[in-house]
């Protein structure tokens, strides 16, 4: 199989889908890898390093898309890339289609086999290809949030860890999954007063066992969210429903009750966001806006700001799945691996992920009912 890796074009997206090590794994297995010129520079990998690992360097994104049987990316394709779609193309990347109706329709119209990193799901419910970026984003949420609490950045002028004789800042995290847990670790490490809310009491018990009195745990409901948000210096949205739009849990009225100069970081923005006052996606170039006196950070590709770490962490988990697809072919790979099959969002013009279909009110076809799959 020919695997292609174009350069990412999203604002300040410096990650790349394959590291030189990942290229070497695929080439050693007998496959061909084509890379767009300078695709890895943002992550610190040169064309020469990729060539030494066995990749062929092509001059343009069009060359890569047209040559490859399977295109690997980091972020969802942007409209200027839709022209490269074609029947039979395998696209393996983060897609977040529940928040991307135009992309969904472009993939369907062009009969692309689109496999989303974020919906590959193991039997225990875990999301192995989303986990490393959730770890990065959770830790970054505290890192960027504390920066914007500084007065010159529009914040209320709070040092999140306080100092002797001065109370620490209050960090509220909605969601106790991978993002929320990593955010809590970072915030507690800085000495903040941390509250985490989740709908699952068992998850709250696990967090309490891990962190005891260092972490306040609350069951997530509208009353507890309102009380916690009102007192927050830094609010982090960390809610995820696999493949679906994030629920709006923090209302505009709740945000209005926050003190001026407080900061909100919504990590769920790439799935539509969980904060009602966030009505736009921001970029690393212009990461924040102020509404009701509160600083809102809504960057959809947070890990792109730390591309070296993020690229290596992502490639660690994506390459084994890419190798399986390349070795077996997509049909055999999906038949053999039920977790990978859950990653299929579109195939041959059919929308095969229910949450995406519901988000856009489009027809849903279970993967095993797509014509031709009965022989798998």
In this predicted model, what pLDDT tens digit does every residue of 78-106 receive, in sequence order? 999 999 999 999 999 999 999 899 999 99
Q: Residue 160 above 80 pLDDT?
A: yes
User: 272 and 209 in one domain?
Assistant: yes
CATH number for position 253 = 3.40.50.720
The question of whether 66 is a catalytic residue gets the answer no
Residue 161 pLDDT: 96
Residue 48: inside a domain: yes
Query: Does residue 96 carry a catalytic annotation?
Result: yes
Residue 39 assigned as binding residue: no
pLDDT digits 0-9 by tens, 22-54 = 999 999 999 999 999 999 999 999 999 999 999
Q: Residue 325 is part of which domain span?
A: 2-126+307-369
Tell whether 375 is covered by a domain: no
Give a yes or no: residue 341 inside a domain.
Answer: yes
Residue 174 located in a structural domain: yes
112 is in an annotated binding site: no
Q: Are 61 and 75 part of one and the same domain?
A: yes
Q: Does 267 belong to an annotated binding site?
A: yes
Is the per-residue pLDDT at 151 higher than 80? yes
Question: Per-residue pLDDT for 375 more than 70?
Answer: no
Q: Which of 31, 270, 296, 350 is catalytic?
A: 270
Q: Are residues 313 and 253 in the same domain?
A: no
Does 280 reside within a domain? yes
Domain identity same for 280 and 179:
yes
DSSP three-state, residue 62: helix
pLDDT of residue 374: 65
The total domain count for the chain is 2
134 is in an annotated binding site: yes
Domain end marker among 248, 276, 297: 297
SS (H, E, C) 67-80: HCCEEECCCCCCHH
196 plus 68 within the same structural domain: no
Domain-located, residue 302: no
Q: Are residues 149 and 247 in the same domain?
A: yes
Q: Which of 297, 327, 342 is the last residue of a domain?
A: 297
Tell me: do 227 and 276 sit in the same domain.
Answer: yes
The pTM of the full predicted model, rounded to 2 decimals, is 0.86
What is the structure's pLDDT at 274? 94
Residues 29 and 80 in one domain: yes
What pLDDT score was predicted for residue 297? 97
Q: Annotated binding residue at 15?
A: yes
Task: Note the Cα 373 to chain centre separation in Å.
Answer: 29
Considering the domain architecture, whether residues 98 and 145 belong to the same structural domain is answered as no
- The answer to whether 224 is annotated as binding is no
Q: What integer pLDDT is reported at residue 164 of this predicted model?
A: 97
Whole-number pLDDT of residue 244: 78
Query: pLDDT by residue (tens digit) across 329-341?
Result: 999 999 999 999 9
**Does one domain contain both 160 and 278?**
yes
Judgement on whether residues 194 and 135 belong to the same structural domain of the protein: yes
* Position 258 confidence tier, pLDDT thresholds 50, 70, 90: very high
Which whole number is the average pLDDT over 102-113? 98
Kindly state the percentage of the chain with pLDDT values over 70. 99
**Does any domain span residue 376?**
no
Active-site choice (96, 233, 266, 296): 96
Domain limit, last residue, from 274, 297, 320:
297
- Residue 374 resides in a domain: no
Q: Are residues 117 and 138 in the same domain?
A: no
């Amino acid at each position: 199989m020919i695997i292609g890796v174009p350069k990412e074009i999203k604002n300040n997206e410096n990650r790349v889908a394959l590291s030189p090590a990942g290229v070497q794994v695929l080439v050693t297995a007998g496959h061909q890898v084509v890379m767009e010129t300078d695709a890895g520079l943002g992550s610190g990998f040169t064309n020469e390093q990729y060539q030494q690992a066995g990749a062929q360097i092509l001059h343009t994104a069009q060359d890569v898309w047209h040559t490859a049987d399977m295109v690997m990316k980091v972020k969802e394709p942007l409209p200027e890339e839709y022209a490269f779609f074609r029947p039979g193309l395998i696209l393996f990347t983060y897609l977040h289609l529940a928040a991307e109706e135009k992309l969904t329709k472009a993939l369907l119209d062009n009969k692309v086999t689109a496999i989303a990193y974020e919906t590959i799901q193991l039997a225990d419910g875990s999301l192995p290809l989303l986990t490393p970026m959730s770890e990065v984003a959770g830790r970054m949420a505290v890192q960027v949030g504390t920066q914007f609490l500084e007065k010159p950045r529009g914040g209320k002028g709070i040092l999140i860890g306080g100092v002797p004789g001065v109370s620490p800042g209050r960090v509220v995290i909605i969601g106790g999954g991978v993002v929320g847990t990593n955010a809590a670790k970072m915030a507690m490490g800085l000495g903040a007063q941390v509250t985490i809310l989740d709908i699952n009491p068992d998850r709250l018990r696990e967090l309490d066992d891990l962190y005891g009195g260092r972490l306040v745990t609350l069951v997530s409901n509208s009353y507890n969210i309102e009380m916690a948000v009102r007192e927050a210096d830094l609010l982090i949205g960390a809610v995820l429903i696999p493949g679906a739009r994030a629920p709006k849990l923090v209302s505009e009225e709740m945000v209005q009750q926050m003190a001026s100069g407080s900061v909100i970081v919504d990590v769920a923005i790439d799935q539509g966001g969980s904060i009602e006052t966030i009505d736009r996606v921001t970029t690393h170039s212009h990461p924040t806006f102020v509404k009701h006196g509160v600083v809102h950070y809504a960057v959809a590709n947070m890990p792109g700001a730390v591309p070296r770490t993020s690229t290596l962490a992502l490639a660690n988990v994506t390459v084994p799945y890419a190798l399986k697809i390349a070795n077996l072919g997509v049909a055999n790979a999906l038949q053999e691996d039920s977790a990978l099959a859950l990653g299929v969002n579109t195939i041959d013009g059919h929308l095969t992920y229910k949450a995406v279909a519901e988000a856009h009110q489009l027809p849903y076809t279970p993967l095993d009912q797509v014509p031709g799959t009965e022989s798998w």
